[in-house]
């Protein structure tokens, strides 16, 4: 046995496959944005200087916080920036979920939530979504040590109305309620305006999807002063320098180019709506997506078979061997050209 018994054992989160030859395959499996980041961000990457690598970056990513603050009209003391929203959410779990009473989240949701709960030994209860994969607000009235809801939810792509989100926040004043808005920019309603009213709310967003910067790893949270202060205390107890210099500078450039950001979102939403119709014509049930992906199930051919046949053709989508969703596929919205190739392949497979 020896040291073995002291090793921490955890079944980790399994991200979608990142094939080595990304330029040869059509990658619709990790909800990345198919369009480049804002041109200003790329320019910064091309002009990095010695000092940008040699010196430690500012510990508070202040320049990026100020840019986010300016864009959303929120005070910097109510913003926490991290290495993708995964880092922000992990820090939030460690900081805010410290009760013996279970935290609550849906059974079908982002599959990192139960991993963090296991890692940090946070008791948790998974609340079944209904048969249409909808989250029922009344289920979140029971005693709890915290709540986390992805809105829109993943992998279902469904958005909850803001009134339902407010109902959950309002009825749980003694719990931190985290709303994970990784996909909100593609058609959801953000809970950000509720921040003034509720000090138990945290809203988490990311640059990975709508700002095409998954590789730079930038995420952020909005919350009241006390929660952000506690998050910073935890962060500074693990790693002071989480945000590297290029990520901060490139993030600022992305925030400053609102026109590019809006145009990219509009392109994806347009392709998504077209793809919904195409999938339906091919015999797929398609959930009403408010995200940059579609959650689909075919009326004849098994999801697993479609997944494997697409992969053979170099088209990557996502499939989970999990109860309730094992006959579904999650397909990221790509460019029109990528979607055309996908539909050509599906016509051969089905
Ligand atoms: N939340 C949800 C619901 C997601 O699907 C993802 C992407 N895998 C994330 C958070 C994390 O994204 P990132 O760390 O790239 O910001």
pLDDT tens digits for 55-108?
999 999 999 999 999 999 999 999 999 999 999 999 999 999 999 999 999 999
What six digits make up the tokens of 44? Answer: 């910064």
Cα–ligand 1 centroid distance for 2 (angstroms): 37
Which pLDDT belongs to residue 149? 98
**Of 45 and 97, the one with more pLDDT:** 97
- Decide the pairing of beta strands 147-150 and 201-206: unpaired
Which pLDDT belongs to residue 198? 98
Which pLDDT belongs to residue 52? 84
- Site to substitute for ligand 1 among 112, 150, 320, most atoms within 8 A of C-beta: 112
pTM more than 0.85: yes
Protein residues with CB under 6 Å of any ligand 1 atom: 84-86, 110, 150, 154, 180, 182, 206, 208, 214, 219
- Average pLDDT over all residues of the chain: 97
The DSSP 8-state label assigned to residue 143 in this structure reads -
Cα–ligand 1 centroid distance for 1 (angstroms): 37
Question: For domain 39-257, is the CATH number 3.40.250.10?
Answer: no
Q: Would you list the domain boundaries of the chain?
A: 2-37+259-349, 39-257
Q: In whole angstroms, what is the distance from residue 339 CA to residue 331 CA?
A: 10
- Site to substitute for ligand 1 among 15, 206, 220, most atoms within 8 A of C-beta: 206
What tens digit of pLDDT does each residue of 110-137 get? 999 999 999 999 999 999 999 999 999 9
Cα–ligand 1 centroid distance for 86 (angstroms): 6
One CATH from 3.40.50.300, 3.90.1150.10, 3.30.565.10, 3.40.50.12280 for 2-37+259-349: 3.90.1150.10
Ligand 1 atom with the shortest distance to the CA of 109: 3
Instruction: Tell me the percentage of the chain whose pLDDT exceeds 90.
Output: 95
Q: In whole angstroms, what is the distance from residue 46 CA to residue 66 CA?
A: 23
Q: Flag whether pLDDT at 1 surpasses 80.
A: no
Cα–ligand 1 centroid distance for 219 (angstroms): 9
What tens digit of pLDDT does each residue of 187-241 get? 999 999 999 999 999 999 999 999 999 999 999 999 999 999 999 999 999 999 9
Which pLDDT belongs to residue 206? 98
Ligand 1 atom with the shortest distance to the CA of 217: 15
Cα–ligand 1 centroid distance for 347 (angstroms): 31
- Length in residues, the chain: 350
* 140, 175 Cβ separation under 8 angstroms: no
């Amino acid at each position: 046995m020896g040291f073995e018994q002291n090793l921490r054992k955890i079944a980790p989160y399994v991200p979608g496959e990142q094939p080595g030859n990304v330029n040869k395959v059509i990658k619709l499996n990790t909800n990345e944005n198919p369009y480049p980041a804002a041109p200003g961000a790329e320019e910064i990457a091309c002009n990095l200087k010695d000092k940008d690598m040699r010196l430690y970056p500012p510990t508070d990513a202040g320049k990026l916080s100020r840019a986010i603050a300016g864009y959303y009209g929120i005070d910097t003391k109510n913003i926490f920036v991290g290495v993708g929203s995964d880092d922000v959410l992990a820090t939030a779990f460690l900081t805010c979920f410290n009760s013996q009473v279970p935290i609550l989240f849906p059974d079908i949701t982002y599959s990192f939530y139960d991993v963090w709960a296991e890692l940090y030994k946070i008791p948790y209860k998974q609340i079944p979504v209904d048969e249409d994969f909808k989250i029922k607000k009344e289920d979140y009235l029971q005693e709890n040590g915290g709540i986390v809801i992805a809105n829109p939810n993943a992998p279902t792509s469904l958005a909850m109305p803001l009134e339902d989100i407010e109902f959950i926040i309002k009825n749980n004043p003694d719990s931190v309620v985290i709303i994970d808005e990784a996909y909100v920019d593609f058609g959801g309603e953000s809970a950000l305006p509720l921040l003034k009213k509720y000090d138990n709310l945290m809203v988490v967003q990311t640059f990975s999807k709508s700002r095409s910067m998954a590789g730079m790893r930038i995420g952020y949270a909005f919350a009241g002063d006390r929660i952000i202060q506690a998050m910073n205390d935890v962060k500074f107890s693990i790693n002071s320098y989480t945000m590297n210099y290029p990520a901060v500078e490139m993030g600022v450039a992305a925030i400053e180019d609102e026109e590019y950001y809006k145009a990219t979102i509009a392109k994806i939403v347009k392709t998504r709506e077209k793809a919904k119709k195409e999938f339906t014509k091919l015999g797929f049930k398609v959930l009403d997506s408010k995200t940059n992906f579609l959650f689909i199930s075919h009326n004849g051919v098994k999801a697993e078979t479609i997944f494997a046949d697409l992969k053979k053709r170099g088209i990557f989508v996502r499939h989970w061997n999990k109860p309730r969703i094992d006959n579904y596929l999650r397909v990221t919205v790509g460019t029109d050209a990528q979607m055309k190739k996908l539909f050509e392949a599906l016509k051969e497979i089905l």
